Amino acid sequence: MVAGLALTQEQRELLKQRRQRLGELLPFPVLLWAGGRSPRNFPHNGYPYRASSHFLYFAGIPIEQAVIRLQAGRLELFVDDPPPGAALWHGPSPTREELAAQIGAEAAYPLSELGSFSGEALTLGVQDAATRIQQAHILNRGIPAAPDLHPQDEPLAEAVVQLRLCQDAFALEQMRTAAAVTVEAHRAGMAASRQAKRESEVRAAMEQAICAQQMTVAYTSIVTVHGEVLHNEAYHHRLQPGDLLLADVGAESPLGWAADVTRTWPVSGQFSPTQRELYEVVRQAHDACIAQAAPGVEYRELHLLAAQVIASGLVELGILRGDPHTLVERDAHALFFPHGIGHLLGLDVHDMEDLGDRAGYAAGRQRSQRFGLGYLRLDRPLQAGMVVTIEPGFYQVPALLQDPVRRQRYDDCVNWERLAQFADVRGIRIEDDVLITPTGCEVLTAALPSHPEEIETWVMG
Amino acid sequence: MVAGLALTQEQRELLKQRRQRLGELLPFPVLLWAGGRSPRNFPHNGYPYRASSHFLYFAGIPIEQAVIRLQAGRLELFVDDPPPGAALWHGPSPTREELAAQIGAEAAYPLSELGSFSGEALTLGVQDAATRIQQAHILNRGIPAAPDLHPQDEPLAEAVVQLRLCQDAFALEQMRTAAAVTVEAHRAGMAASRQAKRESEVRAAMEQAICAQQMTVAYTSIVTVHGEVLHNEAYHHRLQPGDLLLADVGAESPLGWAADVTRTWPVSGQFSPTQRELYEVVRQAHDACIAQAAPGVEYRELHLLAAQVIASGLVELGILRGDPHTLVERDAHALFFPHGIGHLLGLDVHDMEDLGDRAGYAAGRQRSQRFGLGYLRLDRPLQAGMVVTIEPGFYQVPALLQDPVRRQRYDDCVNWERLAQFADVRGIRIEDDVLITPTGCEVLTAALPSHPEEIETWVMG
């Protein structure tokens, strides 16, 4: 399906540059499958099609069931023309030659010829298992499910990570459009909150703003008054006047590029004093990280900076006791901020997470065993062109705070009685998408307010 | 995930009756897998979860990765408790025992014990290929992708078809809620049309109404000014004042039951004279079929009735020439109404289409080779309790009308010059969901107007 997805000459040129750089990094031929439609409850009722991100990176547009072959900058397309009768159901479709011209392929063949072009080719497994079986069949070797890789494909994964870590003008133009629509969605959500009776109504208003712009959500939306459930996918709770609503919703552009934004706002339009105090702690952490983000800075240091700001804020509020630096060393901050400060963003909302930690972690680094660091998804020095999220939070997660082992370990540094006074805060997160520039960074989603007064104004309408 | 999906005692009793009836029809044990989440662009970014319809039919609620075993009315549940740490990300989850109580299972075990309960069991393949591999592993035989079946599983498919053909009170309650929300969605779409600039904005307004009610779409929405593309999935066209918009959008209830409704309305709020004339032909076909739908009536006869009414109407308008009965025998109606009059509706929008034509076609019947009948999805005598769609249409499909072979074959009976006067009609369809009752039928979606004047009123707001 490429209806309405025509590429410009400039976009085609940037795609060509990606392929040339791949050719410089890798002496082997590469086959990348777009993948097929995943069936929902029967074969002809599929989920909305999403091509593999690696295919999209080099071909630019989604082409169902297509395969591309890349070698030394040359691009060949393998795809079948639509079967006879398809026009009745699906309308006129571009021919193989038209698709080849669209993506700038030097040659195009039916899929039946793929076998004779597959020798020595490396690949990356797609997400749908049915297509992965075809990959294994064509290449005559096992293609494991992500994040595992056949050892032969490791050099391809490394080259792809090297390319996709920093975004080019094509990617940034797409990500800016996704960011702009995401900002609109959050504004729509704030505006809908006072009238809404349930979470689902706010979610619907936000996703409507995305759908109306011919985009889709980049990930399952989180729109909940139970922000303490980090990946909450329930939308049935009633909104009560004293609730904070946490909305983590991002658009994906038609060519597959993601935005990922969280805001937290009072359903009533007015933060309570306790909500405002904790909101400001999170916002200080958010602002501090953005102020520091620049090429050469270790992302892990931004995470620890956020932890430090949050620990200091909680000490000031009397929730934690002790020296903030020591508290962070003891992971006491992670009782309330248990996840990482963010992740890479690109074609995937957690960019290249299908490759495991190969993208997120610099060579030789691995996940920490520490409670306060183990969930960090990115541990690299920042480079100009990277897009990352910055998303500190504060949560009261019963599974953490009621855990007897943790309660004992941190009993000396948590003032439980003081904490109980903040019971009207279950979860707060503020998340923006940040492009690292040569001199610092640019917040792609800066048009969305994070100041509490501005948020209140938007909710009040 | 079963947040907010508690079953009533009455629902549990109806589920038990389904299982008892299966036990009476089939002497073998049965294993049914709910299936897993299909990954989108990386493993942890999945499409919204939809459990297998066969699992839902007997278990009532979606339980990711669960398996049920059915024998002689007895229900056993196999599911793993959530892994440690899951509560942080996904909140508190029901335990295995709570899930078992919820669905009325007599016993519950971890998945690791499934192997020792699998002897002689029949199954039906789920949609996600990853789970199908597990099915094959547990049962130690091939589990082909739908609509193919392992020969051993044919008796189960037959029994399931026999059960699911007619809907019980549980199913009808769910389908009525899906129908009600679908009616709201179409009203929202009509109301949004005059202000909307593109198809995507109308689609967004319609899906918002569904999402707000904690439902999802039962299938990919068709919202288009190019109604002649039967399964159109593009939403980028601009709305022009003279356009007809065709919207085929249906909600699915939280427990998985579908609605499927189409309306066609003028974007401007006023049908042109030619649009109104053809709309009335389609509406007459729609009304005639509903007037005839009753137990014992062959669904195929309703299809031919619609063909006859459409042929007669087109003769009256001067588009076709000749005797309507002869025109239908020659399939001339199918130039403009090339699809079937409808299909079964239930847990799937084309109910049980994963079983091929086993559900749609009575034993011993098969698809016609005739152009005007081959796309018919249902060929059975109607029975009380069946829910079917009635969806006649009129389309000007270039792939059919420009086809030289067809133009020659029907040259004597089509007045091409007269047809050209109706160029402002590309596609019209009117579709409702119809429950067959003991004495006739009930239109579940009757609250949605199909009279052109009422539709104009809704669009005009």
Cα–Cα distance, B335 to B400 (Å, whole number): 6
- The reply to whether B149 and B18 lie within a common domain is yes
Residue type, A74: R
- The reply to whether A136 and A174 lie within a common domain is no
- The reply to whether B348 and B409 lie within a common domain is yes
Tokens 């044990």, located at residue: B29
What does the block give as tokens for A314? 């909680």
Beta carbons of B231 and B222 less than 8 angstroms apart:
yes
pLDDT for the residue A451: 97
Is the CB of A161 inside 8 Å of chain B's CB atoms? no
Q: Give domain status of residue B89, yes or no.
A: yes
Find the residue in A nearest to B219 (Cα).
Answer: A45
pLDDT for the residue A87: 85
Cα–Cα distance, B257 to B432 (Å, whole number): 15
What does the block give as tokens for B288? 């005639």
Residues of A in contact with B198 (CB under 8 A): 212, 214
Q: Give domain status of residue A431, yes or no.
A: yes
- Closest in A39, A235, A399 to B87, CB measured: A399
C-alpha B119: how far from chain center = 34
- The reply to whether B436 and B306 lie within a common domain is yes
- The reply to whether B62 and B183 lie within a common domain is no
CATH code (residue B79)? 3.40.350.10
Nearest to A168 by CA among A442, A384, A388, A9: A384
Cβ-defined contact of B234 to A42 (cutoff 8 Å): no
pLDDT for the residue A372: 85
Cα–Cα distance, A282 to A279 (Å, whole number): 5
Residues 342..361 of A with a Cβ closer than 8 Å to B: which?
Answer: 347-350, 352-354
Per-residue model confidence as pLDDT tens digits over B309-342: 999 999 999 999 999 999 999 999 999 999 999 9
pLDDT higher than 70, residue B1 = no
CATH code (residue B176)? 3.90.230.10
Share of chain B above pLDDT 90, in %: 95
Find the residue in A nearest to B348 (Cα).
Answer: A41
Q: Give domain status of residue B4, yes or no.
A: no
Is the CB of B6 inside 8 Å of chain A's CB atoms? no
Per-residue model confidence as pLDDT tens digits over B212-230: 999 999 999 999 999 999 9
Q: Give domain status of residue B450, yes or no.
A: yes
- The reply to whether B248 and B100 lie within a common domain is no
The chain-wide mean pLDDT, for chain A, equals 96
**DSSP-based helix, strand, coil % in chain B, nearest 5:** 40, 15, 45
Residues of A in contact with B213 (CB under 8 A): 200
The chain-wide mean pLDDT, for chain B, equals 96
A92 against B187, higher pLDDT:
B187
**CA-to-CA dists, residue A364 to A161, A336, A357, A380, B71, angstroms:** 15, 30, 11, 11, 54
- Å between B439 CA and nearest CA of chain A: 32
Cis, peptide link before residue B147, omega less than 30° from 0: yes
Q: How many domains does chain A have?
A: 2
Residues B61-85, mean pLDDT to the nearest whole number: 95
Cβ-defined contact of B214 to A235 (cutoff 8 Å): yes
pLDDT higher than 50, residue B36 = yes
Last residue of a domain, one of B120, B142, B164: B164
What does the block give as tokens for B225? 């000014």
Question: Band of the pLDDT at B67, cuts 50, 70, 90?
Answer: very high
- The reply to whether B252 and B150 lie within a common domain is no
Q: Give domain status of residue B386, yes or no.
A: yes
Residues 123..142 of A with a Cβ closer than 8 Å to B: which?
Answer: 127-130, 133
Query: Which residue out of A42, A149, A232 would a mutagenesis test of the B interface target, given it has the greatest number of B Cβ atoms within 10 Å?
Result: A42
Cβ-defined contact of B232 to A397 (cutoff 8 Å): no
Cβ-defined contact of A4 to B236 (cutoff 8 Å): yes
- The reply to whether B381 and B406 lie within a common domain is yes
Per-residue model confidence as pLDDT tens digits over A302-352: 999 999 999 999 999 999 999 999 999 999 999 999 999 999 999 999 999
DSSP state of B423: T
Per-residue model confidence as pLDDT tens digits over B12-24: 999 999 999 999 9
Residues A6-24, mean pLDDT to the nearest whole number: 97
pLDDT higher than 70, residue B4 = no
- The reply to whether B344 and B363 lie within a common domain is yes
pLDDT for the residue A1: 39
pLDDT for the residue A86: 86
Tokens 């505006």, located at residue: A191
- The reply to whether B221 and B142 lie within a common domain is no
- The reply to whether A158 and A195 lie within a common domain is no
Last residue of a domain, one of A164, A188, A216: A164
Q: Give domain status of residue A186, yes or no.
A: yes
Q: Which long-range contacts (CB under 8 A, 24 or more apart) does B3-7 make?
A: B3/A233, B3/A234, B3/A236, B3/B91, B4/A234, B4/A236, B4/B214, B4/B254, B5/B61, B5/B62, B5/B254, B5/B255, B6/B102, B7/B60, B7/B61, B7/B102, B7/B103
Cα–Cα distance, A62 to B188 (Å, whole number): 31
pLDDT for the residue A4: 57
Longest dimension (CA), chain B: 74
Q: Give domain status of residue A342, yes or no.
A: yes
Output the DSSP codes for A164-200: HTS--HHHHHHHHHHHHHHHHHHHHHHHHHTT-SBHH
pLDDT for the residue A224: 98
Angle at CA of residue B410, ends B409 and B416, nearest 5°: 135
- The reply to whether B99 and B222 lie within a common domain is no
Residues A233-256, mean pLDDT to the nearest whole number: 97
Task: Return the C-alpha torsion angle B324, B329, B335, B337, nearest 10.
Answer: 80
Per-residue model confidence as pLDDT tens digits over B246-287: 999 999 999 999 999 999 999 999 999 999 999 999 999 999
What does the block give as tokens for B426? 């590309």
Tell me which residue range forms the domain holding B89: 9-164
Last residue of a domain, one of A141, A164, A187: A164
Q: Give domain status of residue A2, yes or no.
A: no
- Closest in A87, A91, A212 to B204, CB measured: A212
Cα–Cα distance, A205 to A208 (Å, whole number): 5
> Quick one: which H or E segment has residue B170?
helix B169-193
Output the DSSP codes for A375-431: T---BSB--TT-EEEE--EEE--HHHHT-HHHHHHTTTTB-HHHHHTTTT-SEEE-B
